[in-house]
């Protein structure tokens, strides 16, 4: 009897969940309605020998060896071995019915992030492929049925030469593979709005311009009609701005037409770290699609002294960088995991944050609400000039474009950083930076074009960074050689070389994984003293517009990582202020107290 029950339990785990229609629910607020979260009934199977394609694992009904799993899912979570870092192939499948929506003209599948290469089938039919994590992609759900659909995703987590960072270069964070963010079924209405942009110019009244692209998803010519557009804001502000949009333009079947409208907001409340006022636009098109976007009225700039400004005021920001990673789930964070990141930044007193790649959109929405400025960048990390092949430059520019189009309405985003710690810069990287700045100016000239560089050696920071609005320097003076006493001279030399760029310290820190003497590198006591000494210098350097500790939390880097720690525990980077169990180190209190003494504006 016991044997029978055990067998039944095993069969129950292996059996696919019955198909059901997903719920209309999204884990972030901005964007179109009609997002149906596919969060139930997933199964997965490892394919370490990459045999699944030859054995037709994508065929409908195949379930041998598949086990239930929660998606998002990082199949590398908990595996800190060399093999785990190198990645492998993993398969995922889920069954679903279509929601009952009479206004659906078509359906699309939306993946918020897959690491690293995805191949997608629906009901045995290949829909397409995509390479690169951190940014979303959509595929048309061709062949979708009312009932009994089966979605299959093959994820190849192994690095490649065409991805960012490429396999030819080392990685500065763990190679997590899997469906790392959520998957949606998206309803396509008759008129489908994309590339929505809201630009709010300061003044009284504030001038707001809305642009976008509307595709006619039906088989006949239709009029582009905005049925309703409403704005809400602080102190009960509400206005109907439907008349601000041009009506009646004819759009042929399958074609797109521009959307444009402008309106004024009297007595506006501006967005800033201390007063993160947000406005909300709800825009409904004929055919039923409703798109929501929250925006702030604010202006980024650089003054004549080379100081970054917000709404005309020079900035003096303090914060920390982070990785989207937990010990239990790797890079497949839950909403509670993301909330903890925001809560930890707020507890630190941070008014700026940074990551090496575009974060989950829900994090940016939280930064908008909390008044935490965000330094956004794409993962062009530690590439040599020779790495900037024509193909990789094209990939990097495409990722930059996707990041800008996804995130340009967020009030908190201050920069588009196009590179981080490139090595032996030359003609190829110069061409890439030139093209990246041009792309930024074309898609979103309201933010600062930026790049991050190692402070030492100073003469290796590329001269072509003079094209940029802002430069972030990663400085570990006194950790990777030298002494903190040399830091003021280094920063003065940096300002002399780039007199017109806004300057930030985007990284500074020291490893800490044990107690011990404050003179011993790698101890909590050394880290606390190191950060205190560096903040003394940073606080006394008016040329700097901000500084970010590296890092908020400990995270995995790669096998064999030491990070300058005499007693390391690879693959951990122990420069975090908080350990992997969410316990603050002594340096956390030191940094928090110092941050509290520095206002956001000079």
Tens digits of per-residue pLDDT, 439-464? 999 999 999 999 999 999 999 999 99
- Closest by alpha carbon to 549, among 573, 567, 531, 566? 531
- The closest alpha carbon to 323, from 558, 526, 524, 12, belongs to 558
The pair of structure tokens assigned to 274 is: 């201390």
Tell me the mean pLDDT in the region 23-52: 98
Cα of first residue to Cα of last residue in the chain, in angstroms, is 75
Contact 186, 103 (CB under 8 A): no
pLDDT of residue 585: 98
Q: Name the nearest CA neighbour of 326 among 312, 314, 313, 341.
A: 341
Q: Is 6 exposed, middle or buried (0-12, 13-18, 19+ CB in 10 A)?
A: exposed
User: 52-75 burial, b if ≥16 CB within 10 A, otherwise e?
Assistant: beeeebbebebbeebeebebbbbb
Q: Which residues pair with 115 in a beta bridge?
A: 178
What is the spatial distance between Cα 104 and Cα 260, in angstroms, rounded to a whole number? 24
The pLDDT of residue 239 is 98
> In the predicted model, is pLDDT for residue 378 greater than 50?
yes
55 SS3 class: coil
Statement: residue 13 has pLDDT above 70:
no
In angstroms, the CA 317 to CA 46 distance is 45
pLDDT at 237: 98
Name the pairing type of β-strands 352-354 and 373-377. parallel
Per-residue pLDDT reduced to its tens digit, 110-128: 999 999 999 999 999 999 9
Query: Distance between CA 431 and CA 452 in Å, rounded?
Result: 17
What are the pLDDT digits (tens) for 183-221? Answer: 999 999 999 999 999 999 999 999 999 999 999 999 999
- What's the rounded Cα separation, in Å, for the pair 125 and 551? 44
> Which tokens is 332 given?
């497949």
CB 179 within 8 A of CB 155: yes
Per-residue pLDDT reduced to its tens digit, 560-592: 999 999 999 999 999 999 999 999 999 999 999
| Per-residue confidence band for 81, with pLDDT thresholds at 50, 70 and 90 | very high
pLDDT band at 18 (very low <50, low <70, confident <90, very high): low
φ/ψ (deg, to 5) at 222: -135, 160
Q: What is the Cα gyration radius of the chain?
A: 25
Residue 293 to residue 88: CA distance in whole angstroms: 38
Residues in the chain: 602
Q: Which domains does the chain have, with CATH numbers?
A: 2-188 (2.60.120.260), 191-288 (2.60.40.10), 301-596 (3.20.20.80)
What distance in Å separates the CA atoms of residue 252 and residue 189, rounded to the nearest whole number? 15
Which of 370, 393, 322, 342 is closest to 548 using CA atoms? Answer: 322
Q: In the Cβ-directed half-sphere of 129, how many Cα atoms lie within 13 Å?
A: 7
Name the token pair of 351. Answer: 């008014």
Count of Cβ atoms closer than 10 Å to residue 254 Cβ: 10
pLDDT digits (tens, 9 = 90+) for 229-279: 999 999 999 999 999 999 889 999 999 999 999 999 999 999 999 999 999
Beta strands in 399-525 (DSSP E): 413-420, 448-454, 470-474, 502-507, 512-514, 522-523
Residues above pLDDT 70, as percent of the chain: 97
pLDDT at 287 over 60: yes
* Contact in structure between 154 and 178 (CB atoms under 8 Å): no
User: In the chain, count of helices (H) and strands (E)?
Assistant: 9, 41
- Comparison of pLDDT for 223 and 18, the residue scoring more: 223
Q: Which residues, in sequence order, are bridge partners of residue 290?
A: 284
Q: Is the pLDDT of residue 4 over 90?
A: no
User: Distance between CA atoms of 60 and 55, rounded to whole angstroms?
Assistant: 13
DSSP secondary structure letters along 539-579: HT-TTEEEEEES-SB-EE--TT--TT-SS--TTEE---SB-
Instruction: Give 7's pLDDT tier (boundaries 50, 70, 90).
Output: very low
Residue 205, preceding bond cis, omega within 30 degrees? yes
**What's the pLDDT tens digit per position in 397-406?**
999 999 999 9
Q: What stretch of H or E contains 18?
A: none
The residue with tokens 């907001």 is: 265
| H/E segment holding residue 336 | helix 335-348
- Encode pLDDT of 458-514 as tens digits: 999 999 999 999 999 999 999 999 999 999 999 999 999 999 999 999 999 999 999
| Angle separating helix axes 335-348 and 361-370, nearest 10 degrees | 30
Question: Which residues partner with 384 through β-bridges?
Answer: 423
pLDDT digits (tens, 9 = 90+) for 315-354: 999 999 999 999 999 999 999 999 999 999 999 999 999 9
Measured between alpha carbons, how far is 306 from 500 in angstroms, rounded to an integer? 4
Residue whose token pair is 């509670």: 336
Q: Provide the whole-model pTM.
A: 0.96
| pLDDT at residue 5 in the model | 38
The tokens for 573 are 């980077």
């Amino acid at each position: 009897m016991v044997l029978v029950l055990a067998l039944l339990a095993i069969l129950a785990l292996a059996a696919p969940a019955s198909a059901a229609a997903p719920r209309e629910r999204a884990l972030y607020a901005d964007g179109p309605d009609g997002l149906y979260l596919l969060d139930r009934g997933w199964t997965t199977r490892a394919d370490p020998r990459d045999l699944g394609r030859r054995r037709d694992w994508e065929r409908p009904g195949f379930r041998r060896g598949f086990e239930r799993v929660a998606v998002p899912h990082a199949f590398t979570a908990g595996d800190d071995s060399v093999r785990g870092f190198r990645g492998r192939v993993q398969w995922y499948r889920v069954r679903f019915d279509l929601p009952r929506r009479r206004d659906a003209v078509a359906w699309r599948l939306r993946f918020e992030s897959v690491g690293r290469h995805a191949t997608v089938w629906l009901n045995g039919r290949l829909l397409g492929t995509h390479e690169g994590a951190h940014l979303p992609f959509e595929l048309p759900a061709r062949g979708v049925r009312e009932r009994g659909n089966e979605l299959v995703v093959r994820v190849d987590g192994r690095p490649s030469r065409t991805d960012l960072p490429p396999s030819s270069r080392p990685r500065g964070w763990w190679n997590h593979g899997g469906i790392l963010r959520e998957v949606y079924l998206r309803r396509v209405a008759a008129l489908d709005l994309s590339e929505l942009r809201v630009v709010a110019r300061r003044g009284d009244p504030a001038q707001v311009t809305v642009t976008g692209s509307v595709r006619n998803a039906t088989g006949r010519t239709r009029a582009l009609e905005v049925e309703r557009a409403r704005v809400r804001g602080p102190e009960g502000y509400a206005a109907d701005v439907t008349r601000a949009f041009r009506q009646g333009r004819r759009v042929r079947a399958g074609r797109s037409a521009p959307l444009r409208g402008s309106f004024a907001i009297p007595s506006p409340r501006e967005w800033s770290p201390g007063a993160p006022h947000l406005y909300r636009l709800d825009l409904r098109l004929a055919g039923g699609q409703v798109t929501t976007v929250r925006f702030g009225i604010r202006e980024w700039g650089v003054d004549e002294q080379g100081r970054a400004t917000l709404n005309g005021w020079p900035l003096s920001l303090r914060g920390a960088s982070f990785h989207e990673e937990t010990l239990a789930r790797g890079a497949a964070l839950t909403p509670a995991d993301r909330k903890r990141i925001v809560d930890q930044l707020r507890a630190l007193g941070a008014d700026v944050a940074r990551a090496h790649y575009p974060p989950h959109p829900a994090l940016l929405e939280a930064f908008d609400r909390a008044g935490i400025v965000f330094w956004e960048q794409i993962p062009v990390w530690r590439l040599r000039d020779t790495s900037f092949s024509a193909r990789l430059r094209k990939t990097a520019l495409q990722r930059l474009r996707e990041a800008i189009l996804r995130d340009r309405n967020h009030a908190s985003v201050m920069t588009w950083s196009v590179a981080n710690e490139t090595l032996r810069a030359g003609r190829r990287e110069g061409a890439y930076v030139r093209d990246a700045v041009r792309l930024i100016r074309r898609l979103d000239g309201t933010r600062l074009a930026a790049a991050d560089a190692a402070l030492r050696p100073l003469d290796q920071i590329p001269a072509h960074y003079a094209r940029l609005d802002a430069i972030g320097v990663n400085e570990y003076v006194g950790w990777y050689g030298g002494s903190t006493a040399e830091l003021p001279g280094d920063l003065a030399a940096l300002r002399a070389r780039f007199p017109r760029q806004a300057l930030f310290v985007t990284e500074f820190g020291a490893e800490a994984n044990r107690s011990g003497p404050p003179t011993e590198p790698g101890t909590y006591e050394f880290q606390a003293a190191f950060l205190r000494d560096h903040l003394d210098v940073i606080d006394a350097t008016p040329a700097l517009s901000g500084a970010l500790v590296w890092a908020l939390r400990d995270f995995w880097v790669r096998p064999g990582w030491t990070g300058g720690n005499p007693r390391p525990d690879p693959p951990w980077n122990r420069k975090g202020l908080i350990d992997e169990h969410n316990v603050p180190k002594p340096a956390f209190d030191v940094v928090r107290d110092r941050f509290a003494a520095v206002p956001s504006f000079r």
